[in-house]
Amino acid sequence: DSSTARGRVENNIINNHIMSYDYHQYVQSIQRHRHKEHTSHIRGAVDRMTVATPPDLDSLQHSVEGFASLSKHCPMTPLLWMQYAHDTEMLMMGLYLAESSSNESNPELSKNQEKSQARKSALESSTGILEMALSEFPGCALLHLYYLENLAENFYQIQLINKMSDQIGIVGVRDLVNQSSQLDKISKAFEVAVKNVGVGAHVNEGIIVAEIYRFYCSFLVARLSLVMGGESTKNSENNDTEVENSSTRMNEEKGISILQQLSLIFQQWSKNPMGEGSNDEIMQDLEYLWEEASAIFISFFDGSVKLIKQQYLAQQKASLWETVDLNRKKASLLLNVLSSYENNVDVAMDNEGIMLQRYSLFPQ
């Protein structure tokens, strides 16, 4: 029968395609190399009485190659993507430091600067992997948080490199990095994160979503400090009054814009039904963040102007707190509806052995 024969051929093609790789073999190989690297790192730390031991580059290399091969054959889970990014970061940093230690062509670079440069390069590799992961899992809160932490750490390393370059007088190194573009990238990543997570989609991920919002607000406060502090002309030696006033107005406008953005994030945060243990202390967080931002903004002014700005911020806070309180009440009512449904899903996932133990992510 030709139709039966054709069916057998089609089944063979499908089976050969499906079995063209062994998923469990890939994962077990990756786990074996990751365990070997971790064990050698711990043993080295004990032997040398220090945690600053070099990584097992050979094990990391095999682990990264395993992840790369697996990602080509099938979709990986968010946790596997994060492990892939972590191992790539450690491998790239180890290779960079090994190469720089054998290269004496630039003796002006300090050891600390070499480490920062290695960390920065490694983070750029890992963030690229996390971006691929987020394209597959845009709704995974943990992936967004890990990605944001990588971006923030990369920006911190850029600042360190620039600062050390200025201190030792290396010309040109500072121009190789663009702090402004990195800040814009972090801002965009935060906007994408709060757009894709929370809003009642996964109330049992609330502890992670709350951390993203807390991180976002802290980032905005840090940006406000850069605008109102680092770029301040309050104590400028510039004698051109017109130029100084223009710069002051520009910084003030930037500061107000950031405060408005912070207010919007507060409101959005308060609308999210996040479940027990995640959003219970939101008002304490908001109070602290608002006071920090207000203090930074007020420090930019003197005399009667300072008093006017204080009154302005007090009015803004009263209105904002009223909105936040109303949003929290609505979110609480919505939570009662959503949580029962998601708890049923969590129970089913736990029975299948695929439940992520979220409370182990942020130990108290």
3-class state of residue 51 by DSSP? coil
Q: Look-up: residue for tokens 């309180």?
A: 325
Contact 174, 158 (CB under 8 A): no
The pair of three-digit structure tokens given for residue 70, joined into one six-digit string = 């697996």
Residue ranges of the chain whose pLDDT lies below 70: 1-21, 41-53, 101-110, 167-178, 199-204, 230-246, 274-280, 336-340, 342, 353-364
Identify the pLDDT of residue 288. Answer: 94
Identify the pLDDT of residue 9. Answer: 44
Identify the pLDDT of residue 152. Answer: 93
pLDDT tens, residue by residue, 223-242: 999 888 754 444 444 445 65
Neighbours of 95 (CB within 10 A): 17
Identify the pLDDT of residue 174. Answer: 52
Give which of 29, 138, 141, 23 is closest to 76, Cα–Cα: 23
pLDDT tens, residue by residue, 43-97: 554 444 444 567 788 888 888 988 888 888 888 889 999 999 999 999 898 888 8
Identify the pLDDT of residue 148. Answer: 96
The pair of three-digit structure tokens given for residue 186, joined into one six-digit string = 């972090």
The amino acid present at 128, given as its one-letter code, is G
The pair of three-digit structure tokens given for residue 338, joined into one six-digit string = 């959503």
The amino acid present at 330, given as its one-letter code, is K
Identify the pLDDT of residue 116. Answer: 84
Q: What is the pTM of this model?
A: 0.77
